[in-house]
Structure 1
Amino acid sequence: MMVNREIVIDLANYQKGLTASDYKKIGAKYAIVKTTEDTNYVNSEANLLINRSAAGGVKGFAFYHFARFHNDAKAISEAKYFISKTKGIVNLQKGALMILDAEISNMPTSSVIAFLKEIKKAGYKAGFYTYKYLLPNFNLKKIKPYMDFFWLAAYPLANGKAADKSPDFNYFPSADYVDLWQYTDNLLGYHVDGSISVTKNAIKLFNPSDAKSNKTPAKKSKSEWVKKNGTFTLGQSLEIHKSPHIESDSIAKLKKGDTIKFDATLQGPKRLWLRQPRSGGKYGYIVGKDKYGKLLGKLK
């Protein structure tokens, strides 16, 4: 049976600069939007991403949660947080597709199942996302009965290299149950992740655009990124993180006396984050002030 291939983009706050015109040029009809992470982060740009992409031609949405659990109890609490906070952002219909983003180490299969069961118990379709290189960490056959949708990432091209909308299926990841293949992190040079549908199931689960954004936008965090160029010389050894969360994965470890350039700051109640531009349009994040407001180096 022939499958009508569709391009699907996924959106986090990194894509908040995309315009409706950009989305029209990308030409995707479906999007997966990050709404939550752990039990302490809600994407304050989710309304903007949904509304702007809808204005640019996206007609169906799904939603994902970046997970940080390592046990069943934490998995259940993260699933409940995901559901509750996403309801505050969109008119979440029963049967909407809600996806677990599993890309950290030491995540048990039992906890993945606990998360997916919580999603299904609430009346939604449960999706599972991971990278091909992480598949050995999971028992996919055990997960399969609890997932309605499987989204797998494997990039034929180097990270950051622009890809078009026709991936080479000679590089398709050899794994079971795949509905959607994420094949690039830089679709058409827009620095947006691009996926392609593999089954009809991949598209039929997407929330229709008439249920997109609540009329009352989700309340924005008081903390917002401010564009500011400068340098930071470390007063102690620190890590550069993949996202501005103290428990997020480390990109690099720097020693006292090292200096980095930053292009934006995020000031919380006490903690200050600095954003470091990296190759391929990516960013790293380092703490400039700790949770007590103590400066951890020299800012210029």
Structure 2
Amino acid sequence: MLKMVDVYSDSPRSYATQAGTNITMVKATQGTGYVNPKCDTDYQAAKKKDKLLGIYHYCSGGNAKAEAQYFYKNTKNYIGEAVPAVDWESYQNSSWGNKNYVRTFVDEFHKLSSVWPLIYVQESAINQVANCAKDCGLWVAKYPSMDWKSWKIPNMTVRTSPWPTYTIWQFTGDNMDRNVVNTTKDGWKKLAKGSSKPAAKKKSTWVKKSGEFILGEALKIHKSPHIESDAIAKLPKGSVVKYDATLQGPLRLWLRQPRSKGTYGYIVAKDKYGKPLGKFK
């Protein structure tokens, strides 16, 4: 077991270099508009003391993807060295109770960084983040009391299901956030590095499905299902396109239009933002 302290802007600066601790976890961002002004100060001070490092984002509950992007944008220079984490709490969180929010956040962050963040959550709310158990480590909060002001590990049960155990247990949160970490120094460094390359993209395949699509705006019929491919024609708003298959690509939903002599045309039904460009009949 390693000892870890987590710090934020109002923490005494001495906490980041606390004697006897192995890891310093620093709050980096919150929502999409706050960067901890003391983040790099604490991070660099801890690094000079040869501490292992972590950085975390506090969820405000806005757009999950946007928050993940904000966290990555402001911490990308730490990626590979510090273990990232996402802090899921009820305070100042407009999406508290949403069981898909953190799943969306960690997927987006992993796509950007190739690293799965740890998930901080109180023991009683683990069910809100349970769908992340196969990918992310658990940083669970459970205190014996609010007057446990020491590094003595409490003798108590900490429920972690569906995780088999915790990666981090935060057992005090009053005068100092004290944590025990269930790995070795080398294990922590591996968590920081993540995978060597981004996860493989799922292959897009055509699904046979017939129907009609009414254009909500003027659109091009393309020679292939790529937005930069040549246009066969441009159809006006209100045109009806008969299709025989659909393809959900990495960005856009495509429809396949049968044409003469066994050829096909292709049209975008939803743009890269998921906006429908017409109506299905």
Percent identical: 22
Equivalent residue letter for 1:28: T
The question of whether the paired residues in 1 share the 8 Å contact of 2:9 and 2:36 is answered with yes
Equivalent residue for 2:150?
163
Residue 246 of structure 1: aligned partner: none
Q: List alignment gaps of at least 5 residues for structure 1.
A: 209-300
1:126 aligns with 2:117: yes
Alpha-carbon offset, residue 12 of structure 1: 0.5
Q: 2:7 aligns with which of 5, 11, 21?
A: 11
Equivalent AA in structure 2 for residue 54 of structure 1: K
Larger RCO: 1 or 2 (CA < 8 Å, sep 6+): 1
**Deviation of residue 126 (structure 1)?**
1.8
Q: Could you tell me which of 74, 78, 83 is aligned with 1:85?
A: 74
> Which residue of structure 1 lines up, in the alignment, with residue 40 of structure 2?
47
The DSSP-based 3-state class of the residue aligned with 1:18 is helix
SS of corresponding position for 2:13:
coil
TM-score (normalizing by structure 1): 0.55
**Letter of the aligned partner of 1:146 in structure 2?**
D
Q: Which of 134, 152, 164 is the aligned partner of 2:140?
A: 152
Q: Would the aligned equivalents of 2:81 and 2:189 in 1 still touch at CA under 8 Å?
A: no
**TM-score of the aligned structures, taking structure 2 as reference length:** 0.59
Q: Which residue does the alignment assign to 2:57?
A: 65
Counterpart-to-counterpart distance in 2, 1:107 and 1:18 = 35
1:32 partner SS: strand
Look up the match of 1:198. Answer: 182
Query: How many pairs were matched up?
Result: 184
Describe the superposition over 1:115-160 as per-residue Cα deviations: whole angstroms up to 9, x where unpaired: 0001111122321110112224x151x221231x21000011x225
Q: State the alpha-carbon separation in 2 of the partners of residues 163 and 65 from structure 1.
A: 26
* 1:9/1:202 CA distance change after superposition, 3 Å: farther
- The 2-side partners of 1:47 and 1:95 are apart by 13
Shift of 1:183: 0.5
After superposition, the CA RMSD in angstroms is: 2.5
Counterpart of 1:35 in structure 2 is 28
Are the equivalent residues in 2 in contact too, given 1:10–1:193 (CA < 8 A)? yes
Residue of structure 2 in register with 1:282 after alignment: none
How do 1:1-300 and structure 2 match up within 5 A?
5-18=1-14, 23-25=17-19, 27-55=20-48, 57-69=49-61, 74-87=63-76, 91-94=77-80, 96-104=82-90, 106-122=96-112, 123-136=114-127, 138=128, 140=130, 142-147=131-136, 149-156=137-144, 158-164=145-151, 166-168=152-154, 170-176=155-161, 177=163, 178-186=166-174, 191-200=175-184, 203-205=188-190, 207=192
Distance 1:162 1:94 in 2: 33
- Shift in Å at residue 204 of structure 1? 3.6
Moved over 3 A (4+): 93-96, 199-202, 204-208
Q: CA separation of 1:49/1:206 partners in 2, compared to 1, >3 Å: closer, same or farther?
A: farther
Residue identity in the other structure for 1:128: I
Check 1:202–1:179 CA distance in 2 against 1; reply closer, same or farther (3 A cut): farther
Distance (whole Å) between structure 1 residues aligned to residue 88 and residue 146 of structure 2: 19
**Counterpart-to-counterpart distance in 1, 2:15 and 2:23:** 16
Counterpart contact for 1:153–1:183, Cα < 8 Å: yes
> Is this contact kept in 1: 2:27–2:36, CA < 8 A?
yes
Measured at CA, do residues 96 and 121 of structure 1 come closer, stay the same or move farther in structure 2, by a change above 3 Å? farther
